[in-house]
Amino acid sequence: MYDIIVVAIICLKTVIFHKICLGGNMKKVLVVLLSLLMVVSVFAQKGASAPKGRVEADAKIRIGVDNDEWGAAIVELWNKSYPRNKGALEYEYVGAAGATDYVGQLQGDAADVVLCIDGEVSRQAQSLLEMDKTIAKFAATFAIEPFYSNTNETKNVYVPVAYDGMVFSWNKTMCEAIGLDITDADGDGLPEAFDTWEEIFAWSASLKDRPVYKGKKVNVVYPMSLANQWGCYSTLTAGGWQIYAEGDTSKPGFDKPEFKAGLDFLREAAKAKISVEANGQLTPGSSMAERWQEYLDAEISPFALVGSWMDVKGAEAATGSDFKFSRMPTWKGNQLTPLVKTKGFVINGFTRYPGAAKELVKLLVSKAGMQLMVDHSSYIPAMQANAPTLPDFSKEENKREMQAGFAACYAEPSDSLPINKQMACMQCYYNIAIEQSYFPVWDGTTDSATAQAEIVKNAANWFNTNNR
């Protein structure tokens, strides 16, 4: 209604100006005015369904996200931002893993916009709608590289919004209670007493009796996850190694001396007894499973990695402890780096309402949209430090710290094999049972050189089988 009034006023002013200042034919002017008002009347009949931007008047779209609270908040923001299209948006729960496959399989029956993992975009690119130039240009102002460029190598179909990975964490409350100095003189978020693994290992090795926290012995210093390739990746970077560092997807780099140095680090961690059983004996390599959640919920250790999907706020409320986040400690001057991916939005190429879908993406990456993600999910924005839409972290100190920690992680390569374009190069790392090679390194039953040779051989066999 407001728009109608504005138009009528403009028309009336035109009439008055024409009559008074130009001495025009009042009859002709009134005819024009009546015609304009008829247009306004037609527009008014459409009422609240009148489009904003490029939203189709009859649009009915769905967004697929993996968090119900966030999904409901997105719908509410849409209704506030697009009152003429209130009720046009619904949300449904769709897991980010496999989301692009869900689009490719269901096509027009899938949600119009979905949250997905960057490395899965390429295999369903043909089923995704290209973003318009406005979205692509805006995304370039805040998106983190190489996630944006690598995923949009052929066409712009993906907008990254959140990190998907793990960052280093230390339990401030526990550290203080068991006598660790938490002075952070340089303000980098990591106290000087444990900003290197040399210091952590020395402290762990010096423990004649395990410290007690909340009535329980702290048998784990750092719950290194050997049985999970993704969670253990940072361990292998202790010597400065990174997978596919040369940019050649036929060369993962397992033969590099830097990779062997990572295996050496693994053995040093075992010697320092960073994880022991109740009887004080070293935890066997095969039992070094995923225990990151136990760090939060059961407080089994002063240090750990924490995933972007974990409920830190809930853990703090339940335990009363203050969990802090930062880059990982260094080893011999090398920065250890966990793997990190991104999650972001794509548009279903079979949507019946591309205009509405694109407007929704614009809303999601706006400052209000990004703030919504921070306030209603566990996700950490994957954004440049000076991004124009950087949300307010004043009530989310943990997420501010985690965002800084993610900046020191290594972007998981999303490239395909040289010949077999349907196979992601990282499947080599995930499918050669690499953990079976470094269990004995941890246990001290084999050396790093032997384990490295075995891994190199297994990787070569896998590549020759799958790159066809």
Q: Where are the beta strands (DSSP E) in 28-112?
A: 61-65, 89-93
C-beta of residue 78 within 8 angstroms of C-beta of residue 128: no
Burial of 306 from C-beta contacts in 10 A (0-12 / 13-18 / 19+): buried
Domain ranges, residue 8:
2-49
Indicate whether 219 and 263 sit together in one domain: yes
In sequence order, what are the beta bridge partners of 424? 416
C-beta of residue 225 within 8 angstroms of C-beta of residue 232: yes
Indicate whether 72 and 188 sit together in one domain: no
Tokens representing residue 392 in the block = 């307010």
Q: What is the DSSP string of 138-195?
A: HHTTTBPTTHHHHHTSSS---EEEEEEEEEEEEEHHHHHHTT-----TT-SSS-GGGS
What is the residue whose two structure tokens read 């983190």? Answer: 144
Which of helix, strand or coil describes residue 306?
A: strand
Indicate whether 368 and 304 sit together in one domain: no
Which candidate, 85, 144, 195, 183, places its Cα nearest to that of 382?
A: 144
Does residue 56 fall inside a structural domain? no
CATH number at 120 reads 3.40.190.10
Indicate whether 16 and 77 sit together in one domain: no
Q: How many domains does the chain have?
A: 3
Does residue 94 fall inside a structural domain? yes
pLDDT by 10s per residue, the chain, length 468: 434 443 344 444 443 334 434 344 544 444 433 343 333 333 333 333 333 458 999 999 999 999 999 999 999 999 999 999 999 999 999 999 999 999 999 999 999 999 999 989 988 999 999 999 999 888 888 888 888 888 888 889 999 999 999 999 999 999 999 999 999 999 999 999 999 999 999 999 999 999 999 999 999 999 999 988 998 999 999 999 999 999 999 999 999 999 999 999 999 999 999 999 999 999 999 999 889 999 999 999 999 999 998 999 999 999 999 999 999 999 999 999 999 999 999 999 999 999 999 999 999 999 999 999 999 999 999 998 888 889 999 889 999 999 999 989 999 998 889 999 889 899 999 999 999 999 999 999 999 999 999 999 999 999 999 999
What is the residue whose two structure tokens read 């897991």? Answer: 95
- In the listed set 405, 438, 455, which residue is the last one of a domain according to the structure? 405
Indicate whether 325 and 287 sit together in one domain: yes
Does residue 429 fall inside a structural domain? yes
| Secondary element (H or E) of residue 197 | helix 197-206
Q: What is the pLDDT of residue 53?
A: 55
Does residue 74 fall inside a structural domain? yes
Does residue 55 fall inside a structural domain? no
The DSSP output letter for 261 is H
- In the listed set 405, 426, 450, which residue is the last one of a domain according to the structure? 405
Provide the residue count of the chain.
468
Indicate whether 284 and 218 sit together in one domain: yes
End-to-end Cα distance, the chain: 63
Indicate whether 290 and 392 sit together in one domain: no
Indicate whether 301 and 389 sit together in one domain: no
- C-alpha radius of gyration, the chain, whole number: 28
Indicate whether 327 and 345 sit together in one domain: no
Indicate whether 222 and 320 sit together in one domain: yes
C-beta of residue 241 within 8 angstroms of C-beta of residue 259: yes
- In the listed set 382, 405, 428, which residue is the last one of a domain according to the structure? 405
Which candidate, 138, 62, 72, places its Cα nearest to that of 102?
A: 62
Indicate whether 249 and 352 sit together in one domain: no
C-beta of residue 453 within 8 angstroms of C-beta of residue 259: no
Q: Give the pairing type, strands 128-129 and 212-213.
A: unpaired
Does residue 54 fall inside a structural domain? no
Indicate whether 397 and 434 sit together in one domain: no
